[in-house]
A and B are shown apart, each in its own frame.
Chain A
Amino acid sequence: MKVLVPVKRVVDYNVKVRVRSDNSGVDLNGVKMAINPFDEIAVEEAVRLRENQLASEVIVVSCGSAASQETLRTALAMGADRAILVESDAELQPLAVARLLKAVADREQPGLVICGKQAIDDDANQTGQMLAALMGVGQATFASRLVVEGSAIQVTREVDGGLETLALKLPAVVTADLRLNEPRYATLPNIMKAKKKPLEALPAASLGVDIAPRLRHGRHEEPAPRKGGVKVADVAELVGKLKNEAKVI
């Protein structure tokens, strides 16, 4: 069974982003970029499946500019077998990415697709669910545990109030939550090896799907910061403030 893992190049999670002075977007000049952390977890899960002989090949795919090759190399260094770059310099919104991934899935026929549950830049949390819909297969989002059993999977999901476990027929789309696994660090020898692994670049236009943006993004702004509060000396003062000043208890 092939496992397809879509990965996205995003601003590193440690970076505090700034809005451009003309409010037209976020200033990404010179900002450190990295693989989306949830996608890293998805790659790790897929690689473990192959290591446990439950998958035959792990294919990572990224939709974006040539710079996304770097993200794909990171995934290859973690243990993915080969990579596909669906290259486009245009803005790609979740529905467009889902369509491109559907075209790649039609070609590769994966038994399982593992995505990150959301990208930490646009926080949309849509692509995996949209891909499952376009493929006409089942979905298990926010996964914290994945068990492959023949032509089916059992997935434990993190939901409001606790956990739920689903059984799905394969093929299916799973999206990874934080506690699915702890991704490995790529070792230097594996980083070197990854440079020789196959990376195929496909122009997005060659896949024949409509990728025009549907949503227009207008004014970007930083939310009003909370006003700095005060430090209280002790518990008695705290209780006094909560009762008499804030009146919340």
Chain B
Amino acid sequence: MKTLVIAEHDNTRLAGATRHAVTAAALLGGEVELLVAGDNCGAVVDEAARVAGVSRVIRVEAPFYRDLLAENLAALVLSLVQLKLYGNVLAGSSAWGKNLAPRIAALLDVAQVSDVVKISGRGCYQRPIYAGNVLVGVESDEAVQVLTVRTTAFDSAGDVAVDGAPAPVEVAEAGPDLGLSTLLRREISRSERPELGAAKIVVSGGRGLGNGDNYQRVLTPLADRLGAALGASRAAVDAGYVPNDYQVGQTGKIVAPGLYVAVGISGAIQHLAGMKDSGVIVAINKDPDAPIFQVADYGLVADLFEAVPALTATL
């Protein structure tokens, strides 16, 4: 049974989440095909064809796929599933994948399984509920299995060898333009830093920093020194220290870097849900009873305004 992975991209580059979804797709058995729908997205098609494990790239281009909005994309996937008889449809559980996959499932009249962290075979999964405090086994007999997969739970698929052959590319016809929604603007933070969801080291700040200026003054040099991505607790985002896309937690980004440095973060359940699968957790907080110390491998009870600059200077 073939699997269709839907590529997330910006018409220039494939998003990291898609490579993780390809790895998850391989666990379902059968061939893995990658749908690249977009507009002038040749570079993404080339990149997609070189992802190891992809047996075919389906290329669909139309101006109304440029922004990858859910309505037209879901209608396209519905027609592709009916035409090519895919047994499984996957996307990474990024904000984009979470927006899209349930719409596809409803059009196909099947249940969807969100945020899959383990695949034991087709129709047999595990996923977190209650903010990651419970893991539940889920079984599905649906004719088409529609899944979003948590990117931190599956490795990123690499590229085929330099001298290896890319996957064949098949051009498919565009679906309808439903005209239900239009993108007016995107305000995407541009940064030289690694992407938060994919970084090997994350430095994250919370309310203990006091304000946005302190956040930048204290954490930026440490992140620069470590080559780390910057994150934040919900409290710090709500207080306006940093934009929403910094948020790590149940309703923000789920991260699992090799090293997570939590600075001035108390460790509310919803924050822990977003980072507790990190390799090594360091917590710096002046409150010795902060719950973050219960999950930290190394805890330093100290004034962050002294400890963090000292740490930066020592590294």
Interface of A toward B, CB cutoff 8 Å: 11, 16-17, 19, 26, 93-95, 98, 117-118, 120-134, 137-142, 144, 154, 157-169, 172, 177-179, 214-223, 226, 228-232, 234-236, 238-239, 241-242, 246, 248-249
Contacts and interface: CB of A to CB of B under 8 A. Distances in A.
Contact of A161 (B102, B137, B142, B189): B189
B97 to A, nearest CB: 10
B187 A162 contact: yes
Given A125-B114, A177-B251, A133 B107 contact: yes
Interface stretch (B31-39, B47-55, B127-135, B166-174): B127-135
B188 A161 contact: yes
Given A126-B102, A158-B244, A232 B138 contact: no
Given A129-B102, A215-B140, A231-B299, 10 more contacts: A122-B129, A125-B102, A134-B106, A161-B189, A162-B189, A166-B183, A166-B184, A229-B281, A238-B300, A248-B279
B295 interface: yes
30 contacts: A26-B134, A95-B109, A121-B130, A124-B112, A126-B101, A129-B101, A130-B112, A141-B98, A160-B245, A161-B189, A162-B187, A165-B185, A167-B182, A168-B181, A169-B179, A172-B181, A178-B238, A179-B237, A214-B110, A215-B113, A215-B138, A216-B138, A219-B136, A226-B276, A229-B281, A229-B295, A231-B301, A235-B307, A235-B310, A248-B258
Interface residues of B, number: 87
Given A165-B184, A166-B183, A241 B298 contact: yes
A235 B314 contact: yes
B95 A239 contact: no
Contact of B95 (A122, A139, A160): A160
A246 B138 contact: no
B259 interface: yes
B67 to A, nearest CB: 8
Nearest to B279: A248
Given A142-B95, A249-B226, A218 B139 contact: yes
B250 interface: yes
Contacts, number: 248
Nearest to A221: B135
Q: Is the interface of B mostly helix, strand, loop or mixed?
A: mixed
Given A17-B134, A220-B134, A130 B253 contact: no
Contacts of A238: 282, 298, 300, 311
A238 B296 CA distance: 12
A133 B104 CA distance: 8
Contact of B294 (A141, A160, A228): A228
A247 to B, nearest CB: 9
